[in-house]
Amino acid sequence: MNRMAKTALVTGILGQDGPYLAKLLIEKGYKVFGMIRRYSNPNYDNLDYLGVTKKVDFVEGDMTDESSLINTVRTLRPDEVYNLAAQSFVGDSWQMAKLTTEVNALGVLYLLNAIKFFSPTTKFYQASTSEMFGLGNTNGYQDENTTFHPRSPYGIAKVYAYWMTVNFRESYSLFTCNGILFNHESPIRGIQFVTRKITDGVARIKYGLSKKLSLGNLDAKRDWGFAGDYVEAMYRMMQQKKPDDFVVGTGENHSVREFVELAFHYAGISNWEKYVVTDPRFKRPAEVYELKSRPTKVHKVLEWKPKVSFKKLVKMMVDADLKRFEYA
Ligand code: NAP
Ligand code: G4F
């Protein structure tokens, strides 16, 4: 190991963003430690997909187990901690509100305390989210000044974590920042999320493995970008002289229906209406109807802009799922 290499601890390393961030940090010369929770059979597929599994050092820990976080931070004393771990599926958060709160809210407090007591020079990134805005908007968009009105236990837990992150900065002068990221997707997006559910469903239909695709609210609108672009914004936030909070998004939004239409189109299937059925099971008790960022601050201060357009993103995901089934 290069002794001068910076060190980063990434929680949630096996999810979607973890592997993209790990790849970026490794390319920048970091030594990356990835925290994984105890599993009888952990799944390294996403890290394998990006070719970085062997370049990450794994440490065991769980966001609900304070002592594991203390031990990890005390032992590694990393330069940077990126807290990506979460029960991140909004739809499940009503059924598992307590677990969601323990992981997404209290877990962040434990991690911040571990840094405060055992490694106060460590910089901390919190994976905050546009779900915190919920119904809140300012003339049809959301930015750093928009009021939070979360609509799910997930969003509420994230609001707690957001404010704890701000509070540790204000109370103890720690370097803590929030990236308020709008939806970002990729070929390794979890299968439950609507984009990947659509591209996986389209590929199954294309290869005759499925006849229907069941979805919930087709009118919901999201500001969708590519995960590979968004981890660069996380990194840049942590390189600032002063910690701050940033909204990260594309500045445009599209409906679930538009995503569906394009995905079927790229797979070469006409008449998408023939295959898509709406199922109330996939509707939410309280919906966030529309999210759209105003990313002026991140453009100006971090000089960050997304590289992958909405159309390119849909195509990338459709192509990847078609390829998976081609060899299945
Ligand atoms: P993801 O794919 O669901 O990954 C979340 C990771 O957290 C998984 O690796 C999971 O571990 C881990 N985790 C869950 N519970 C844990 C626990 N108790 N202890 C330790 N690790 C635990 O999520 P993502 O899309 O990469 O998102 C990364 C972060 O950004 C999340 O905090 C999410 O809430 C936030 N965010 C995401 C988006 C987006 O559009 N993707 C937008 C805004 C904010 P397992 O692999 O073991 O399940
Ligand atoms: O893909 P989704 O499940 O993502 P959602 O709820 O926007 O949350 C994602 O983005 C957040 C950032 O804004 C993250 F914080 C969070 O961790 C996660 O990554 O749903 C998107 C929209 C919703 O309006 C949902 O009601 O799609 C709608 N939808 C319609 N049919 C569906 C379905 N969502 C899912 N998951 N499955 C459906 O069948």
Buried b (16+ CB within 10 A) or exposed e, 192-226: ebbbbbbbbbbbbbbeeeeeebebbbeebbbbbbb
- Nearest-angstrom CA–CA distance, 177 and 237: 7
215 lies in which domain range?
191-222+254-289+311-325
SS3 160: helix
Number of domains within the chain: 2
Domain for residue 35, yes or no? yes
- Nearest-angstrom CA–CA distance, 296 and 119: 33
Q: What number is the average pLDDT over the span 35-54?
A: 95
Closest atom of ligand 1 relative to the 227 alpha carbon: 41
Residue nearest to atom 3 of ligand 1 (CA): 88
Give the rounded percent of residues in the chain with a pLDDT score beyond 90: 95
48 and 141 co-located in one domain: yes
130 and 196 co-located in one domain: no
Residue nearest to atom 3 of ligand 2 (CA): 193
Does the C-beta of 49 come closer than 6 Å to ligand 2?
no
SS3 109: helix
Which residue in the list 7, 129, 195, 199 is annotated as catalytic?
Answer: 129
Give the rounded percent of residues in the chain with a pLDDT score beyond 70: 98
Using pLDDT thresholds of 50, 70 and 90, give the confidence band for residue 39: confident
212 and 170 co-located in one domain: no
Domain of 263: which CATH number? 3.90.25.10
137 and 263 co-located in one domain: no
Residue nearest to atom 9 of ligand 2 (CA): 183
Closest atom of ligand 2 relative to the 288 alpha carbon: 24
| Pair of tokens at residue 101 | 């709160």
170 and 27 co-located in one domain: yes
* 254-255 and 221-222 beta bridge pairing: antiparallel
Does the C-beta of 256 come closer than 6 Å to ligand 1?
no
Domain for residue 302, yes or no? no
How far away, in angstroms, is 21 Cα from ligand 2 center? 22
How far away, in angstroms, is 91 Cα from ligand 2 center? 7
Which pLDDT does position 2 carry in this prediction?
Answer: 55
Model pLDDT for residues 216-245, shown as the tens digit of each residue = 999 999 999 999 999 999 999 999 999 999
Model pLDDT for residues 97-126, shown as the tens digit of each residue = 999 999 999 999 999 999 999 999 999 999
216 and 163 co-located in one domain: no
Which pLDDT does position 3 carry in this prediction?
Answer: 58
Which pLDDT does position 138 carry in this prediction?
Answer: 83
Angle between helices 227-238 and 17-27 (to 10 degrees): 60
Residue 156 has pLDDT above 80, yes or no: yes
